Amino acid sequence: MSIYCADCSYRGKKSGQGGRCPACGSPTLRREGSDADTASAGNGKWRLLLLGLLWALLTVLIAQKLWP
């Protein structure tokens, strides 16, 4: 992920102090590479669903052990 300054068209990986442009100090920074962010958010959703399924399976297994 990199940042892009709309004022001086600075491009870099890190923003300056307080999230401002290190070149001109403008706060109008834009983040690039949002596609990767969306993809990781989608992965998180699937991971949460998988975790829920695992918990359901575990609950069923425990219930079967307690009440045979």
Between 8 and 54, whose beta carbon lies closer to Zn ion? 8
> Measured from the CB of residue 55, what is the shortest distance to Zn ion in angstroms?
48
> Measured from the CB of residue 1, what is the shortest distance to Zn ion in angstroms?
17
Given a contact cutoff of 8 angstroms between Cβ atoms, the answer to whether 8 and 23 are in contact is: yes
d(CA 10, CA 13): 10
Report DSSP state, residue 6: T
> Measured from the CB of residue 22, what is the shortest distance to Zn ion in angstroms?
8
Q: Which residues bind Zn ion (CB under 5 A)?
A: 5, 7-8, 10, 21, 23-24, 26
At residue 47, what is the residue type? R
Between 9 and 43, whose beta carbon lies closer to Zn ion? 9
d(CA 16, CA 51): 38
